[in-house]
Each structure stands twice: as structure tokens, then as C-alpha cells.
Amino acid sequence: MSTFNRTALVKVLEILDSSHAGEALAAAKLASTMVREAGLTWDEVLAPAIQGRGAALPAVATHATSAGPFGYRRDRELSPHEQFFMVLLSPRTPSEIKRKLRGWEARVLDGEITPQETQDLRSLYQSFVVG
């Protein structure tokens, strides 16, 4: 079970109010992935005090060595879709890069980005989210 970061989940859920339907859908999918990878259910997340499978979890996780950005596990590579939205959500990403990425949104959501764009996205993720 990875750590759970409620603050990161709240930031992702705030995107559900986006006027861009694709962005809202992607945020919902990202939120579900965050909950699932933390080993929780939505019922547990929405409970006043989060209870893990037999052990209490803190409401906001600290930076554990096994946790990646936004509370993700470090033991797997994030998909381009996940990297895309983490780059967009990162306060470290410059606005001109966010504007450029908006043009990629439909193709990322459809899984139609080129290998070069996948590599560029990985580089942006390393620079502005992980870095």
C-alpha cells in the first residue's frame, strides 16, 4: 500500500469543475487511480478519519521514501496520461508550457501522442514535477 496524500487528491478533484470535459474526465480517472494505488476505497477516503486495512493512516501523508509526486508509488512508470496531468497541475510548470500542452490534451486522452511527444512529456514531468 502506498501513502495517501489527501491534499494532492483535493487538488485533482478541484479540476472536476473545469469547463473542458476532457480535463474533468482525466481528473476523475487520476483521482480514482490515486485512491486505488493507496489501497483505499472511495468510502474510506470520504470517511471523517481514514482507516486503512486494519491500521490508521494519517489524513495527509508525509513524504515517505516510497511515495512519488502526488502520493503515487515510485515502483512503476506513470502513463503519459498521468504525467500529462501532473505537469499541468504542478505549480512549477510555466504557463507557456501549460498552454502548449493544452493543444495535446485530446490526443493524450485518446492515447494518440507520438513517441517523440511521449519522450518530451517524460522530460517535462521530470523537470517540473519530480525535479
Return the C-alpha torsion angle 87, 92, 97, 102, nearest 10. 40
% of the chain surpassing 90 pLDDT = 10
pLDDT score recorded for residue 63: 38
Per-residue model confidence as pLDDT tens digits over 63-100: 334 455 555 555 567 788 888 888 888 888 898 998 88
Output DSSP code: residue 60: B
Residue 59 has pLDDT above 50, yes or no: no
The SS3 of residue 79 is coil
What distances in angstroms separate CA 80 from CA 7, 28, 62, 96, one per listed residue? Answer: 22, 16, 26, 19
% of the chain surpassing 70 pLDDT = 76
